[in-house]
Amino acid sequence: MAGTSLTVLRRVRAMVGPDAAVDTDTAGTPRVAPRTEEACALILQTAASEGWRVSLAGAQTWVTPEAGADLVLSTTGLSRVVSVAPGDLVATVEAGVRWDDLRRELADAGAWVAVDPPGVGRTAGSVVATGTAGPLRSGLGGVREQILGLTLITGEGRVVRAGGRVVKNVAGFDLTKLASGSFGAFGVITTIHLRLRAVPRADRTFVLSADRDQAVQAALAVLDAGLLPAALEVLSPSAARRPSWTLAVRLVGNAEAVEALGRAVAGAVTGPLEELSVEPAREFWTGLAAGCTAGPVTLRVGVLAAALDDALDLLAHHLDDTWVAASPGAGALRWNGTAVVDRLRLFRHAAAQRELPVTLERGPADVRGRMGIFGAYREGVGLLVGNLRQSFDPAGILAVPLSAAE
Amino acid sequence: MALTTQALDAITAVVGPRWVRLAPAQLDVYASDGLPTRFSRPGAVVLPGSREELIGVVRVLAHHEIPFVPRGAGTGLSGGGVGDADEIVLVCTRLNRILAIDAPNRRAVVEPGVVNVRLSEAARPYGLHYAPDPSSQSACTIGGNVAENAGGPHCLKYGTTTSHVLELEVVLPDGRPVTLGSACGEPWGPDLVGLFVGSEGMFGIATRITVRLLPLPRAVRTLLADFSSIRAAGEAVSAIIAAGFVPAALEMMDRNCIRVVEASIYAAGYPVHAAAVLIVEVDGPDEDAVAAESAGIEQLVRARGAGSVRVAVDEAERARLWQGRKKAFGALGRLNADLLVQDAVVPRSALPDVLERIGTIAAEHGLEVSNVFHAGDGNLHPNLTFDRRQPGDLARVERASEAIMRVCIDAGGTITGEHGVGSDKLRYMSLVFDADTLGAMRAVRRVFDPLERANPGKVVPVHQCSEWRGQWRARRGAAA
């Protein structure tokens, strides 16, 4: 039985004392930001025994908390970069660390994490929990490829330490994968061990202006030539913030390799590639990341390279193709815009018939609740996910709408 | 439940009598894998010939509640593919078809029994390959690679099996087929593909596997650098990685290993007087790019004390350097009665100290150790040679192994990087994971297999797990 806001606030304050910041969010929901893992575990244990519905949150620049939650559990109090080992290329960070702050701190140590997440001001925990990779997913892999281990506090308040701090690890089942990209359905991520890379010596960006078909064909030509750029994006005009559709290519590595790749990419596409100098290139990519929160809804659609054209048609038919960023080398595209739930549902239904999975990465709480983050599962998968949730959150307190409301 | 005549008859009806093995001599073929310290004769061995037969057998086993052990080519090194007398070993090697190679999308769909190297051979005409390349790749199967999350030298740059598996059709232990993930790579829900890969046959059996293929590198260069001490070689490894080079592979062999390989038919011309050699491979978009990268690495290893640096001049020499490396285990096995191929991971910066400690531990236990391993990943393979017929040898090997594991854990590492826990490393799991984390692993296993019949007794030391409420509910749900 859920308590009133005041009761919850009082209980939480009394329980965690100075180990957490306690306040009320703009919607009037009690919010707690524990500063230690122990406090976080205690809060979830209490919520489980009291039946408080808990919505997990980071910096709240990506999504707002779930509607009807009794308590918002924020990771912003867990904001330390615990360790950076540039020699081993491993860092340990708490979930509330801002991605941009982390990026700066790593750069000072000559290292970086190969993830350029969409959005602005996101926390590391949010990026990992939602598995939201950016353009670099094409050549350097998704978020899951950069995570060596993490600490997950389950809906029952158990502390699970998955994986480790080494780059290869098959000791036990891979719970890190379960926690990454599951939107907090199994618990709150509090600490993350990240795989680092040395800052690349060369980092160059090329763009090609074209119509949609030409941009898609150019991307496919790059892939057909056996090339693997760090980023290979087909962007709509508003995503690229340029007058036409754009093919954007980012190459990172040593200077000679980047030079050679640049020549090979130029040879594979028809039409002139324009190189962006350092500052415009930086603005181009940060603008792309920021742009996908302009509209209230962001979708991720899984699509094979050869089916990209059809997927874009499907989007244009059911929604629009105003803001689209496609990574055909990574088998995914991202859409941002405005649409009512019925249209989103129709699109997801049509996409599923073509084996195109649609993930609701971002959206207002009511849209998330009615659509579900993943919608319907394939046969048999829903039962597995349901039983996993029951194991990690037996009281069902974690407010994470993975599937659509009935 | 026991292996009844009734159950065996039902299985025989599915696969035919030829593919049910019951005679002791036949069963002994499957009584061990690549781990020399475990021998256990299963109750029966069944070799289904198709996906439908495999599912049919799993259903019979579910109906009779018989535990089973999925098995590929049996090249595993942790005792994971070995079953007891009340268990059936289910061998997947006859499901060996490559079902599709989709070159434009860089995907392949295979059955679990496809031999690893066959897939890369089949993809080569399209300019593609399957990146994970365990040393046993000429024998091991993709299904086994999925179960173990197998690695290999080139995983340094391209990642282990888990980075290359996109969609899995699996049969759960209760006989239900389920498709996890999607061919495009989106997990289509929580990442159950990532969870299944490396589950060591305890979540079910993959019946159809969709993998990512990568373009063949346009240019490759392989270097051999020798060092007068293991410590210097280990420090050179850290220096290469920390300097931002991303070699395709970065392998180390010590003197014992070099000498054994050079005395075998796999002789690759490694310098026999060196204390250690590094094999460094770089690949890239063209010859100029790899020449520049290899020159940079050469300069760096020379500054770190490399004696000579040899660059393979042609494909034949390159192949020879790699054959010596990949067949090192075979060469070691040929000279010794028994060979335990250990597996552990440490942070790269700890390599020099840990290698020294391993040498000391071997000496203290009166054992010979040879190191041949994925240095760039910090993934050690200290190999202990022994003769199990000699009284006390096996016990000494077990004691030395445990001491090595403790050293690796203390250095911030873990007990296995690519061979799996199986039965061999069950006893070390609680050194790495606490009761709640082990409990989480068991709870997850029970979601896929509530009665714990698939590969029972492996990976998770059950008596060291905390109890999870959810798992009991799952069990009741399954029984209902």
Query: In this structure, what CATH number is given to the domain that contains residue A300?
Result: 3.30.70
The amino acid that residue A253 corresponds to is: G
Could you tell me the pLDDT band of residue A2, with boundaries at 50, 70 and 90? low
User: In this model, does residue B474 exceed pLDDT 80?
Assistant: no
Query: CA-based Rg of chain B, rounded to a whole angstrom?
Result: 23
Q: Are residues A100 and A187 in the same domain?
A: yes
Q: Does B407 touch chain A (CB under 8 A)?
A: no
Please tell me the predicted confidence (pLDDT) of residue B334. Answer: 83
Mean pLDDT across B295-319: 94
Q: Does A167 touch chain B (CB under 8 A)?
A: yes
CATH number belonging to the domain at B219-329, selected among 3.50.50.60, 3.30.70.2190, 3.40.50.1100, 3.40.1390.10: 3.30.70.2190
SS3 B91: strand
Q: Does A390 touch chain B (CB under 8 A)?
A: yes
Q: Are residues A306 and A366 in the same domain?
A: yes
User: In this model, does residue B122 exceed pLDDT 90?
Assistant: yes
Under an 8 A CB cutoff, do B377 and A178 touch? no
CB-CB contact of A337 with A319 (8 Å): yes
Tokens of B245: 């080079």
Tokens of B477: 């749900």
Determine the angle formed by the axes of helices B351-364 and B230-242, rounding to 10 degrees.
150
Under an 8 A CB cutoff, do B471 and A391 touch? yes
Q: Does A158 touch chain B (CB under 8 A)?
A: yes
Tokens of A83: 């360790």
User: In this model, does residue A12 exceed pLDDT 60?
Assistant: yes
Please tell me the predicted confidence (pLDDT) of residue B472. Answer: 44
User: In this model, does residue B64 exceed pLDDT 70?
Assistant: yes
Please tell me the predicted confidence (pLDDT) of residue B333. Answer: 84
Tokens of B450: 């509530």
Q: Are residues A140 and A211 in the same domain?
A: no
Q: Are residues A130 and A179 in the same domain?
A: yes
Q: Which of B183, B187, B246 sits opposite A304 (nearest CB)?
A: B183
pLDDT tens figures, A125-175? 999 999 999 999 999 999 999 999 999 999 999 999 999 999 999 999 999
> Which domain-ending residue is among A142, A176, A198?
A198
Instruction: Please state, in angstroms and rounded to a whole number, the distance separating the CA atoms of residues B308 and B270.
Output: 11
- Nearest-Cα distance to chain B for A23, in Å, is 31
Q: What is the CATH number of the domain that holds A191?
A: 3.30.465.10
Largest CA distance in chain A: 67
> Which domain-ending residue is among A25, A40, A74?
A74
Residues of A in contact with B289 (CB under 8 A): 254, 256-257, 259-261
Query: Of chain B residues 41-80, which have a CB less than 8 A from chain A?
Result: none
Please provide the size of chain A in residues.
Answer: 406
- The answer to the question of residue A214 being in a domain is yes
A152, A173, A249, A383, best to mutate vs chain B, most B CBs in 10 Å: A173
Residues of B in contact with A330 (CB under 8 A): 185
A166, A196, A379, best to mutate vs chain B, most B CBs in 10 Å: A166
Give one DSSP letter per residue of B133-190, joined into a string.
--TTTTT-BHHHHHHHT---TTHHHH--GGGTEEEEEEE-TTS-EEEEE-TTS--SSS
Fold observed for domain B5-91:
3.30.43
Q: Are residues A99 and A184 in the same domain?
A: yes
B186, B408, B421, best to mutate vs chain A, most A CBs in 10 Å: B186
Q: Look at chain A and report how many structural domains it folds into.
A: 4
Q: Are residues A193 and A223 in the same domain?
A: no
Comparing A35-39, A326-330, B226-230, B324-328, the range with the smallest average pLDDT is B324-328
Mean pLDDT across A331-346: 97
- The answer to the question of residue A404 being in a domain is no
**CA nearest to A190, candidates A39, A60, A49, A88:** A39
Comparing A66-70, A249-253, B242-246, B309-313, the range with the smallest average pLDDT is B242-246
Q: Are residues A245 and A178 in the same domain?
A: no
Please tell me the predicted confidence (pLDDT) of residue B92. Answer: 98
**Rama region for A95: left / alpha / beta (φ>0; ψ in -120 to 50; rest):** alpha
What residues are paired with A151 via a beta bridge?
Answer: A161, A191
User: In this model, does residue B242 exceed pLDDT 90?
Assistant: no
Q: Are residues A104 and A189 in the same domain?
A: yes
Domain covering B336-424 assigned CATH 3.10.310.30 in the classification? no
Q: Are residues A299 and A312 in the same domain?
A: yes
Please tell me the predicted confidence (pLDDT) of residue B427. Answer: 96
**CA nearest to A336, candidates A247, A220, A235, A211:** A235
CB-CB contact of B239 with B257 (8 Å): no
Could you tell me the pLDDT band of residue B211, with boundaries at 50, 70 and 90? very high
- The answer to the question of residue A382 being in a domain is no
> Which domain-ending residue is among A164, A198, A232?
A198
Virtual torsion, Cα B471, B476, B478, B480, nearest 10 deg: -170
- The answer to the question of residue A104 being in a domain is yes
Residues of B in contact with A257 (CB under 8 A): 284-285, 289, 292-293
Same fold for the pair B219-329 and B336-424: yes
A143, A193, A374, A391, best to mutate vs chain B, most B CBs in 10 Å: A391
Q: Does B439 touch chain A (CB under 8 A)?
A: yes
**CA nearest to B71, candidates B39, B33, B97:** B33
For strand B249-254 and strand B368-373, is the pairing parallel, antiparallel, or unpaired? antiparallel
User: In this model, does residue B475 exceed pLDDT 60?
Assistant: no
**Would the CA dihedral through B263, B269, B273, B279 be positive or negative?**
negative
Express as a percent the part of chain A with pLDDT over 70.
99
pLDDT tens figures, B416-458? 999 999 999 999 999 999 999 999 999 999 999 999 999 999 9
Domain extent for A341: 292-371
Residues of B in contact with A226 (CB under 8 A): 127-128, 215-216, 218
Instruction: Please state, in angstroms and rounded to a whole number, the distance separating the CA atoms of residues A84 and A124.
Output: 15
Express as a percent the part of chain B with pLDDT over 70.
97
Sheet containing A188-195: give its strands across. Answer: A81-85, A90-94, A188-195, A147-153, A159-163
The amino acid that residue A256 corresponds to is: E
Virtual torsion, Cα B64, B68, B72, B75, nearest 10 deg: -160
CB-CB contact of B75 with B81 (8 Å): no
Could you tell me the pLDDT band of residue A376, with boundaries at 50, 70 and 90? confident
Q: Does A107 touch chain B (CB under 8 A)?
A: no
Please tell me the predicted confidence (pLDDT) of residue A404. Answer: 84
**CA nearest to B242, candidates A87, A254, A105:** A87
Under an 8 A CB cutoff, do B198 and A89 touch? no
Domain regions of chain B by residue span:
5-91, 98-215, 219-329, 336-424, 433-479
Mean pLDDT across A61-68: 92
SS3 B258: helix
- The answer to the question of residue A221 being in a domain is yes
Express as a percent the part of chain A with pLDDT over 90.
94
Q: What is the CATH number of the domain that holds A42?
A: 3.30.43.10
Please tell me the predicted confidence (pLDDT) of residue A3. Answer: 60
Instruction: Please state, in angstroms and rounded to a whole number, the distance separating the CA atoms of residues B29 and B26.
Output: 6
Instruction: Please state, in angstroms and rounded to a whole number, the distance separating the CA atoms of residues A214 and A336.
Output: 22
Virtual torsion, Cα A307, A223, A112, A121, nearest 10 deg: -30
Instruction: Please state, in angstroms and rounded to a whole number, the distance separating the CA atoms of residues B396 and A106.
Output: 45
**CA nearest to A98, candidates A122, A73, A127:** A122
Please give the mean pLDDT across all residues of chain A.
96
Q: Are residues A85 and A193 in the same domain?
A: yes
Q: What is the ipTM of this complex?
A: 0.97
For strand A231-235 and strand A202-210, is the pairing parallel, antiparallel, or unpaired? unpaired
- The answer to the question of residue A397 being in a domain is no
Q: Are residues A186 and A148 in the same domain?
A: yes
Mean pLDDT across A293-311: 97
Q: Does B297 touch chain A (CB under 8 A)?
A: no
Query: Of chain B residues 130-169, which have a CB less than 8 A from chain A?
Result: 148-149, 151, 155, 159-160, 162-163, 166
pLDDT tens figures, A111-120? 999 999 999 9
- The answer to the question of residue A310 being in a domain is yes
- The answer to the question of residue A389 being in a domain is no
Query: Of chain A residues 6-65, which have a CB less than 8 A from chain B?
Result: none
Mean pLDDT across B452-476: 80
CB-CB contact of B198 with A162 (8 Å): no
User: In this model, does residue A1 exceed pLDDT 80?
Assistant: no
Comparing B22-31, B331-340, B439-448, the range with the smallest average pLDDT is B331-340
CATH number of the B98-215 domain: 3.30.465.10
Chain centroid to CA B126? 27
Mean pLDDT across A354-383: 95
Q: Are residues A57 and A122 in the same domain?
A: no
Please tell me the predicted confidence (pLDDT) of residue B452. Answer: 97
